[in-house]
Homo-oligomer: A and B are copies of this chain.
Amino acid sequence: MTSNDRELILTRLIDAPRALLFRCWTEPDLIKRWFVPAPWTIAHAEVDLRPGGRSLIVMRDPDGNEFPNPGIYLEVVKDEKLVFTDAYVSAWQPSEKPFMTGIVTFEDEGGKTRYTARALHWNEEDRKTHEEMGFHEGWGKCADQLAALAATL
| A interface residue numbers (CB < 8 A to B) | 6, 51-52, 74-75, 83, 85, 87-88, 91-98, 101, 103, 120-123
| In contact, B6 and A94 (Cβ under 8 angstroms) | yes
How many monomers of this protein are in the complex? 2
Closest to A126 in B: B94
Given A74-B74, A75-B51: A122 touches B101 (CB 8 Å cut-off) = no
Contacting residues, chain B, for A101 (C-beta < 8 A): 88, 92, 94
CB distance from A2 to the nearest CB of B (A): 16
Closest to A51 in B: B51
Apart from A51-B51, A98-B98: 13 A-B pairs, beta carbons within 8 A:
A51-B75, A52-B75, A74-B91, A74-B92, A75-B91, A75-B92, A83-B91, A92-B103, A94-B98, A94-B120, A94-B122, A96-B123, A98-B122
| In contact, B122 and A93 (Cβ under 8 angstroms) | no
Contacting residues, chain B, for A95 (C-beta < 8 A): 122
Contacting residues, chain B, for A83 (C-beta < 8 A): 91-92
Contacting residues, chain B, for A121 (C-beta < 8 A): 94
CB distance from A121 to the nearest CB of B (A): 7
Most interface-central of A95, A103, A122 (chain B CB within 10 A): A122
